[in-house]
Chains A and B, each alone.
Chain A
Amino acid sequence: MPAVMTRVSWSELAEIVGKEHLRAATAEDAFDDITPQMVAEPDTAEDLARCLRWARGAGVKVAPRGGGTKLGWGNPPAACDLLLSTTRLHRVLEYAWADLTVIVEAGCRVADLQKTLAEHGQALALDPLWPERATIGGILSTNDSGTLRIRYGSLRDLIIGITVALPDGTLAKSGGKVVKNVAGYDLAKLFTGALGTLGVIVQAIFRLHPLPRERRSLSFGGTPASLNQLLLEFLASKSTPTGLQLRAAPGGAQLDVRFDGTAAGIQAQIDQVQQLAAPSLVPSPAPDDVWLSHQAIWEGAVPALVAKFSVLPAHFAAVCALIERAAAAQSLAWRVVAQSVGAGYVRLEGSEQALRTGLLALRDELAKTGDTKLGGTIVALGCPVAVKRGLDVWGPPSDAQPLMVRIKQRFDPDGTLNPGRFLGGI
């Protein structure tokens, strides 16, 4: 144990959360080959804020944790002494179904929230990874969206209010429980995707959508190039899909399209997209689980690297070609699933050295502004910690990095929260 930690008086923390809710961390709590010392599970937002203030005062470094499904995302932390768990903050506080809004605590699991909302035929229009285990705070902090994004937007478009706990013990709100609201700065957007580096999300308010009346999906087979073209044609048509994704792997690619609405409305749109595809591409009905492909890509042989790329939708085929080339050069297995908004996952399987080299090659090619002009980014999300060491998983910082550092310094001046895990060492 490092010398500085011997001075930490954990009994003070036990007084805040209650002795039975502070325990020594075990191997199961480790992430990125770091084992924190303790795990605290406060029961209220106020107690969580007190924990943070105590940690800051004691020089204890904190990683917030929800369901723990994405704890390995980001750079390995410079230090982590305490896991601050939102497990016990799992309540749905106010479900105003007639207003299509819900106030929920950060530790509520996504599937649990959806179950409550389904009782009134509504949903948070989002299909993030591992909803049975992932929490609201976790999907917000990692900005995890899924296949519904083309129609309903991502978390930033669905969250209308937030409460956060800051390292100085402040509990602060922004937004509110009305959908339309421009009073004050939008802290919900600042905290969405901030990976718990500015504060801990303790509560969120979302706008909701009615569950679809009917739903049908189709899949088209072809090459990445032909399907990328078809995807653009769908986007340029009058159809309004609620899912449009491209899957690719050595040997073939598929384009999946999903429509929600009334039976007649769906049929009209299916007729339309079939006409666009004909005569070269003929669809087959798609099983529901194609819409879990963004989750399935996390499973397979190891060692592996799953990275998220962001590009313009016209560039998917070019990205697939880049991936194929980089994979061939490093003898990597690969597959891709991309949503038409321009965000996708690539999975690479091979040796750790090959994974790292492959990732860096892809990053260089994506960032190029020469003939390809892709101007995209790629972030390594899931990979062995050995691959992460010595590189920034987020990629090179932009000209806004000094501003981001100033934001971090204002919110977390002592670097209490997740030090080093975010872009450029934030």
Chain B
Amino acid sequence: MEARILDEFRAIVGAPGLITEREQLSTYECDGLTIFRVLPLAVLLPTSTAEVQGIVRVCHREKIPFVARGSGTGLSGGALPAANGIVISLTRMNRILEVDLPNQRVVVEPGVMNLNVTARVAPDGYFYAPDPSSQQVCSIGGNVAENSGGAHCLKYGFTTTHVVGMEVVLPDGSLVHLGGKAVDRPGYDLSGVFVGSEGTLGIATKVILRIMKKPEVIQVLLAAFNSTNEAGAAVSGIIAAGMLPAAIEMMDNLAIQAAEAAVHANYPDCGGLLLVELDGPAPEVETLMEEVADVCTRCGAWEIRVAQSDAERARVWMGRKAAFAAVGRISPAYIVQDGVIPRTALPYVMSEIVRLSSEVGLRVANVFHAGDGNLHPLVLYDDAVPGQDKLAETLAGDILRLCITAGGSITGEHGVGEEKKKFMSEMFAEPDLETMQLVRCAFDPENLSNPDKIFPRPRLCGEKPGIYEPHPLEIAGVAQRF
């Protein structure tokens, strides 16, 4: 990178806010998905909106691509740096700016950790609902980019449900306010468009969150079944009975073994384990918990436990939330997938996963947000065996295709990022992707903000809609215009 540009960056963020040493840069070369690595030219650590604006203005003027980064816990390569670009790390913008309990709003900077929001309001009986498994370390800015979910989004919704407004630095450096503290601000719901756009539309520098009152009672039921099919039938039974639990999670035997090895959650050794969490008024939870237990028994559960105390509940959840990392105890390497299927397709999809995995001779551990059909198959392999990584990647891809065929999605909460963009054309038709590009072109006509993520091919935006000037890349047949 040219010295004059680095000088300009240094003038904006100060010397401690600019990283250019190769060893330090390597911290930022990947996110939680480590198979993709690109070394950025520089990493900038701004401490204010004005600094973010300053950096982005320079990038816009010099046509330098930038990638915003929170804690780097993403699992789809969304924070993978762009070649010849910079990374803007928001970790130093980590202040909780305002807590408004009567109106149930918290205003934060993007670097605030997810769990710190709940920690701040918990003494007053409130919580921030989206709870990705990485909530101890992941940032709100990253949650906004990915529209993060978590186990409890079955009842409470996703990040997008709980973000009511944002301050955003657009890719040309201008500052806009989308949404606001009050609901339904007139105009297009651009806050709704921005959440989940994986950093491709700009950088959120303030986020207005909705917090909720903690329920009176929370109970978790744990039920052991011989198979995931039996457990799946119980899930359908619970839904058919007109109940909406706070969470329904399922694990298969391999995932249970891994969780036991890692955190000793004291799970029963079974073919399909179901965790059902109910919350609400005490008499209601009591009644419904009995109904849930009845449904589970009818569907073949041979052991049912209800975690009553907070400590018991925390331990039950610890096993589930540690499941990904725990798989490291039973396999040298693994790929996490994030497909979604209509709940009723579960038996079919499970039997297909078994067939596919036995065909290639690799094990697949399954952890599901069963209530909303979000599968997290973990494809286990040994990276010391030549070629097994490719086999695992192919198997993981085939499982995603299976989800598409079943009427589902290639990602429920991890994002498309770098990893799954090649599957976008299988899930969406060309006109769908072209139409999404209209949004990107309105926000980022120069394709500078986290470029080349989500979408399978590079795109160009006409500078002014309606006036056609062919771009050299177009003439060369490399890119298409929208």
Binding site for B on A (CB under 8 A): 96, 98-101, 121, 143, 153-154, 156-157, 164, 166, 170-174, 176-187, 189-190, 192-194, 198, 209-211, 213, 232, 235-240, 261-262, 264-265, 267-269, 308, 310-314, 341-343, 375-377, 379, 394-395, 397-404, 406-407, 409-411, 413-414, 422-424
Contacts and interface: CB of A to CB of B under 8 A. Distances in A.
A225 to B, nearest CB: 14
Given A96-B344, A236-B102, A180 B288 contact: no
B20 interface: no
B185 A377 contact: yes
A157 to B, nearest CB: 5
Contacts of B465: 409-410, 413
B24 interface: no
Contact of A375 (B181, B369, B414, B416): B181
Interface in B398-426: 407-416, 420, 424
Given A176-B427, A262-B287, 14 more contacts: A157-B161, A179-B373, A183-B410, A183-B411, A184-B427, A184-B436, A185-B193, A187-B439, A190-B193, A262-B283, A265-B280, A343-B183, A400-B190, A402-B174
Contact of B281 (A268, A342, A423): A268
Interface string B425-448: 001110111111011111100000
Nearest to B201: A185
Contact of B102 (A177, A194, A313): A313
B110 interface: no
Given A183-B427, A399-B176, A399-B177, A156 B192 contact: yes
A239 B215 CA distance: 8
B253 interface: no
B340 interface: yes
Interface string B86-116: 0000000000000011111100000000000
Contact of A399 (B175, B432, B443): B175
Contact of B157 (A153, A193, A376, A413): A153
Contacts of B312: none
Nearest to A265: B284
B404 to A, nearest CB: 9
A172 B433 CA distance: 8
A180 B413 contact: yes
6 contacts: A177-B342, A183-B420, A210-B242, A268-B281, A313-B102, A377-B184
A394 B186 CA distance: 6
Contacts, number: 267
Contact of B428 (A173, A210, A268): A173
Q: Taking each of B153, B283, B435, which has the highest tally of chain A beta carbons within 10 Å of its own beta carbon?
A: B435
Interface of B: 100-105, 125, 146-147, 149, 153-154, 157-158, 160-161, 170, 174-178, 180-190, 192-193, 195-197, 213-216, 236, 239-240, 242-244, 280-288, 340-344, 369, 372-374, 407-416, 420, 424, 427-429, 431-436, 438-443, 454, 465-466
Q: When A and B form their complex, which 6 residue pairs have the shortest distance between CB atoms, in order from nearest?
A: A265-B284, A189-B192, A210-B242, A172-B435, A264-B283, A238-B216
Q: Taking each of A236, A394, A424, which has the highest tally of chain B beta carbons within 10 Å of its own beta carbon?
A: A236
Contacts of A154: 183-184
B197 to A, nearest CB: 6
A395 to B, nearest CB: 6
Contacts of B196: 182, 185-186
A281 B244 CA distance: 33
Given A240-B280, A409-B465, A184 B424 contact: yes
Contacts of B420: 183
A141 B187 CA distance: 12
Nearest to B157: A157
A264 B342 contact: no
Nearest to B104: A235
Nearest to B369: A180
A377 B284 contact: no
Contact of B409 (A183, A268, A310, A397): A183
B193 A375 contact: no
Contacts of A182: 146-147, 149, 158, 196, 409, 411-416
Contacts of A164: 435
Contact of A209 (B240, B244, B285, B443): B244
Q: Taking each of B175, B190, B195, B284, which has the highest tally of chain A beta carbons within 10 Å of its own beta carbon?
A: B284
Nearest to B412: A180
A149 B288 CA distance: 24
A153 B239 CA distance: 20
B473 to A, nearest CB: 20
Given A98-B344, A143-B184, A240-B215, A179 B372 contact: yes
Contacts of B193: 185-187, 189-190
A179 B407 CA distance: 12
Contact of B407 (A177, A238, A261): A177
A190 B193 CA distance: 6
A230 to B, nearest CB: 12
A270 B158 CA distance: 29
B203 to A, nearest CB: 14
A194 B188 contact: yes
Nearest to A232: B102
A184 B456 CA distance: 11
A153 B144 CA distance: 19
A401 B170 CA distance: 13
Contacts of A211: 242
A29 B157 CA distance: 40
A379 B341 CA distance: 40
B187 A398 contact: yes
A82 to B, nearest CB: 22
Given A184-B432, A343-B184, A377-B186, A101 B416 contact: no
B184 A310 contact: yes
Given A98-B236, A184-B454, A375 B182 contact: yes
B101 A236 contact: yes
Q: Taking each of B125, B175, B181, B285, which has the highest tally of chain A beta carbons within 10 Å of its own beta carbon?
A: B181
A212 B217 CA distance: 20
B181 A403 contact: no
Given A184-B428, A235-B213, A410-B438, A269 B407 contact: no
